[in-house]
Amino acid sequence: MEEKALKLLKKMTLDEKIRQVTSDMIFEVDKTYNDRRNPLCGSYRNPGHFMHQGREVPASPAQVTRQINEDIQKSIEAQPHSIPPIENGEALHGAQWGMGTNFPQPIGLASSFDPELVERVGEVIGRECDIVGVRQVFSPVVNVVRDCRWGRTVETYGEDVKLSSDLGAAMCRGLERSGVIATPKHYADNYGSGGRDSNYSETSERTMREVFLPPFKACFDAGAQSVMAAYNAWEGVPCSANRRLLTEILREEWRFDGFVVSDYSGVDGICTAHHLALSEAEACAMALKAGLDIILPYDRFDTVKEAVEKGYITEEELNENVLRILTAKFRLGLFDNPFRDPDKANALVRCDEHRSLALEAARESIVLLKNDNNILPLKKKNIRKIGVFGQSAALIPIGTNYSGPYGAPWRGEDAPTPLEALKAKSGNDIQVIYGDSVDIKTLAPKCDAVLYFTSIIEGEGSDRSDLRLPGIKSHQTRNDGGALIVDTAEQKIKENQEQSILTLAAANPNTIVVLQNGAPIDMRRWIESVPAVIEAWYPGEQGAKALVEILFGETNPCAKLPITIPKSVGQLPLYYAHKPSGRGYAYCDDDGKPMFPFGFGLSYTSFELKQPTVSKAENGWVLHISITNTGECDGAQVIQVYLHAEHTAVVLPEKELKAYRRVYVRRGETVDADIQIPADVVCYYDTGLRFGPHGGDFSLLVGTSSDSTPFTIALEKITF
C-alpha cells in the first residue's frame, strides 16, 4: 500500500499535497451546503453529524449515506488524481453521525471489567459508522484519570493503567475490524493540575511512561491506525507540535506507521493559545514537521501554502505527511470501494442485534454501591406504590457528552426513560408516581419505596471544582466552556438535590438513590441517611431497562468501580495506585480513605474465594482460583490481581492492577478459573528510564477490590 501511495505522491502537485493535510467541517447542511463545501480537501467531518438540526424527523441512515456518497463523488471528480476523502466523526459510545445505537458512556463500560464486551461494542459502533461511509472515528479516549475534577472523566475508562489499556485496545480492535480507522485520544496527557482540561502538563517523563503512555501503545498494538494529539503542552512544547511525542516516541520507538490528526483548532492554538508561533502559518509548519499529519477541522490550505512559500516547511518535508495519509487511504480501501449502500444502512443501524448488545452492556455497567438491610432487589409482592423524584428520571439516560448529532437530541425507538421503563415493568400491579421536590413530604410517605434520580453538569468544557450534586442555581448553556463540537445544550438543575434526598429519606425509610453521572460524587451529606445507592453512570439507550431489571432483581448487579470515589474534593487527587509516602496519607481531619475504592461493587449474592495458587507458565504465571456462589442468585464476580513490589531499583506503586477476570457462577456452584499473569508484570522503568526486569521482590494480591485483597502470593525472587 505504501508503494501505491508513493507512486501516486510522485504525480501530485504541491497544491494537491497541501489539500491532503487539510480538512473541513460545515455546521449547516442546508441550501448553501454544496456552495460552501470545497471538494478538494483530504478529509471532512461527515455531514451526517449536522443533518438533523431543525427537523421534526431525524435524517435516516439512508439519507445520511446518500449525502456522504454524494460528497465523496464530488471530491473524486474534482481531484486531478481522483483521490477520495476520509469522512470522519465521533464515536465515543455510539456512531455519532446521527441516531446510531447508543451504548453506555465509557466510564460505564469500564465498570464491566469485560474487554470482550467492549470489543463487541466497538465492532457494532464500527459497523454503524462504516455502513454510512464514516471511515475514521475520534475514539476511544484512553487518557488515565488521576483527578476526577476533569470534566471529561465520563469519556474515559477510569483511573487504572491496565484497565484503560485493555479496554482501549478492545475498542480499537472492534472498530478496525469493522473497516473504520480508530483514533485514540488525546495523546498524551490531556489535563493539568486540578483536573483542568487542556492545561499545561507538569507530568514527568517517568509518570508519562508509567501511566499515560501505555494505553496508547496498547491501542496501536491492537491495530489503531491514527491518533489525535492533545491540546495542551508537555515538556514546554504543545502536543500538536511535540516532536518528542509525535516522532521520537510514536514512530521511532514504537514503530507506529499510521497518521496523526490534531484536535479541533489545536494547531491554531500553537499560535493563539500557547503563543509559541508568530503566525498560524508558522504553527502549521511546526506541527507538520514535528509529525502531525492532518490539521482539523477547518480548511487551512492558504495557511499551509503560505508556510511553504515562506520557507517554514519544504515540499520534501510535506511529502512525509502526505505519504502517510495516502497509505492509510489505500489500506482502508477507499480507492476501490468508496461508496456505501443506503438500503443496507437502514437495515443495519439500530437493528435488534445491536440494541440487544446495548442492553447487555448496560446490565454490566451498573454498580451497586450500598444496600443496607438488603432493601434491594424490590419484591413486587411487597410493593404497591413507588414514588419517583429527580428530573433525570424523565430523560433517556445517555448523558449529554458526545451523545447523538449536533444541534438535535438523540432519539431512538424503544429507548425509554427510567420513568417509562419503571411504569412498563410495573404494569397494573404497581402504581408509579412522579413528583417534584415540593411534593416529597406529601407523596413519599404514601409509597412503599421511593427513587431519587440525580443530575449533574459535566463533560467537555465543564470541569468541576465541587464534587457535590449541583443545586438549584447550576446552569449551563451550549456555549459554556468553549467545546466546539459537543452539543451540551441548555441544562438547568431545578432543585437543591442534596436537600431533596435528605427530605426524601426522612419521609420514607425505603429511599434508593440512583446516580446518573460520569464522575465521582461527594455523598457525605446524605449517604448515611439512605439505605441504597446505585451508580448507574449513563447506561445508554437501553440503560433504563437494565436499571429496572436490577431494581426488581431480574438482573444481578455485578459491575465494579473503575475509579476511586473520594469522600470530598479536598482529598483529590485520590487514586489507589499511589506510590509510598515517607510518612502517611491523611490530612489532620481526614483518614485518607475513599468513600468507595477502585474495583468495589456489591451483588445480590455472595461469593467465597478459596486460597489461590500460582504455577509457572511459558510467558509468565497462571493463577488458579476457585469461586463458590454461596448466595441465592446467579451472578458474576470480578477477580482482581494486584502486584506489590519491594526492594526494587526505584519506587513503585503500593499496588497496581496486573490481571483480572470476570467469572460467572450460578448459585450453589463452584467455578475454577485460571488468570494469566504475564511475565512483564515484574518489569519497570529504572533510574535511566529503561524498561525491563530490574529485580526486586514481588507479590500478587488477590481479591475483589483494591481495598479487599485477602490473599497474598509471593512470586519467586527476581534477580538480575
The burial of 687, by beta-carbon neighbours within 10 Å (0-12 exposed, 13-18 middle, 19 or more buried), is given as exposed
DSSP string, 210-275: IIISHHHHHHHHTT--EEEB-SSEETTEEGGG-HIIIIIIIIIIT---SEEEPPTTHHHHHHHTS-
Q: What is the mean pLDDT of residues 125-153?
A: 98
Half-sphere exposure of 412 (CA within 13 A, CB side): 33
Q: CA-CA distances (angstroms) from residue 458 to 369, 483, 518?
A: 21, 12, 8
pLDDT at 525: 97
State how far the Cα of 471 lies from the Cα of 495, in Å rounded to an integer.
Answer: 6
Contacts for 205 with CB less than 8 Å, ≥ 6 apart: 235, 689
Q: What is the mean pLDDT of residues 488-493?
A: 66
Q: CA-CA distances (angstroms) from residue 223 to 122, 257, 281?
A: 13, 10, 33
210-238: b (≥16 Cβ within 10 Å) or e: bbbbbbbbbbbebebbbbbbbbbbbeebb
- Confidence class of residue 492 from pLDDT cuts 50, 70 and 90? confident
pLDDT at 584: 83
- Closest Cα to residue 129, out of 84, 85, 94? 94
**The residue to which cell 452539543 is assigned:** 487
Half-sphere exposure of 367 (CA within 13 A, CB side): 32
pLDDT in tens, 654-703: 999 999 999 999 999 999 999 999 999 999 999 999 999 999 999 999 99
Q: What is the mean pLDDT of the chain?
A: 95
CB atoms within 10 A of CB 310: 12
Phi-psi region of 424 (alpha: psi -120 to 50; beta: other; left: phi over 0): alpha
pLDDT in tens, 176-194: 999 999 999 999 999 999 9
State how far the Cα of 456 lies from the Cα of 516, in Å rounded to an integer.
Answer: 8
pLDDT in tens, 443-453: 999 999 999 99
Q: CA-CA distances (angstroms) from residue 528 to 175, 450, 511?
A: 43, 16, 11
Q: CA-CA distances (angstroms) from residue 709 to 166, 170, 671?
A: 21, 27, 19
State how far the Cα of 495 lies from the Cα of 173, in Å rounded to an integer.
Answer: 43
State how far the Cα of 247 lies from the Cα of 242, in Å rounded to an integer.
Answer: 8
Q: What is the mean pLDDT of residues 281-300?
A: 97
Least confident range from 280-289, 404-413, 529-538: namely: 404-413
pLDDT at 221: 98
- Confidence class of residue 493 from pLDDT cuts 50, 70 and 90? confident
Residue type at position 226: S
pLDDT in tens, 208-260: 999 999 999 999 999 999 999 999 999 999 999 999 999 999 999 999 999 99
pLDDT at 347: 97
Q: What is the mean pLDDT of residues 453-469?
A: 93
Largest interatomic CA distance in the chain: 79
Highest mean pLDDT among 314-328, 407-421, 462-476: 314-328
State how far the Cα of 172 lies from the Cα of 176, in Å rounded to an integer.
Answer: 6
State how far the Cα of 182 lies from the Cα of 169, in Å rounded to an integer.
Answer: 10
Cell of 618: 511459558
- Confidence class of residue 718 from pLDDT cuts 50, 70 and 90? low
**Res 583 pLDDT > 90:** no
**Res 486 pLDDT > 70:** no
Residue type at position 560: K
Which residues partner with 627 through β-bridges? 609, 671
**With contact defined as beta carbons under 8 Å apart, do 572 and 530 qualify?**
no
Q: What is the mean pLDDT of residues 477-499?
A: 68
My answer on whether omega of the bond before 418 falls inside 30° of 0, hence cis, is no
**Res 600 pLDDT > 80:** yes
**With contact defined as beta carbons under 8 Å apart, do 676 and 620 qualify?**
yes
Cell of 573: 487527587
- Confidence class of residue 401 from pLDDT cuts 50, 70 and 90? confident
Half-sphere exposure of 26 (CA within 13 A, CB side): 21
**With contact defined as beta carbons under 8 Å apart, do 142 and 157 qualify?**
yes
3-state helix, strand, coil in the chain (%, to 5): 35, 20, 45
**Res 18 pLDDT > 90:** yes
Q: What is the mean pLDDT of residues 61-84?
A: 97
pLDDT in tens, 617-634: 989 999 999 999 999 999
| Domains of the chain by start residue, with CATH | 364-571 (3.40.50.1700), 607-714 (2.60.40.10)
**The residue to which cell 454490566 is assigned:** 364
Q: What is the mean pLDDT of residues 513-541?
A: 98
DSSP string, 36-102: H--TT-SEEE-GGGGTTTT-SSPPPHHHHHHHHHHHHHHHHHHSTT-PPPEEEE--SSS-TTTT---
State how far the Cα of 234 lies from the Cα of 238, in Å rounded to an integer.
Answer: 6
**Res 324 pLDDT > 80:** yes
pLDDT at 480: 46
**% of the chain residues with pLDDT over 90:** 92
State how far the Cα of 624 lies from the Cα of 663, in Å rounded to an integer.
Answer: 13
What's the start-to-end Cα distance of the chain, in Å? 43
pLDDT at 346: 97
Phi, psi of 656, deg, nearest 5? -150, 135
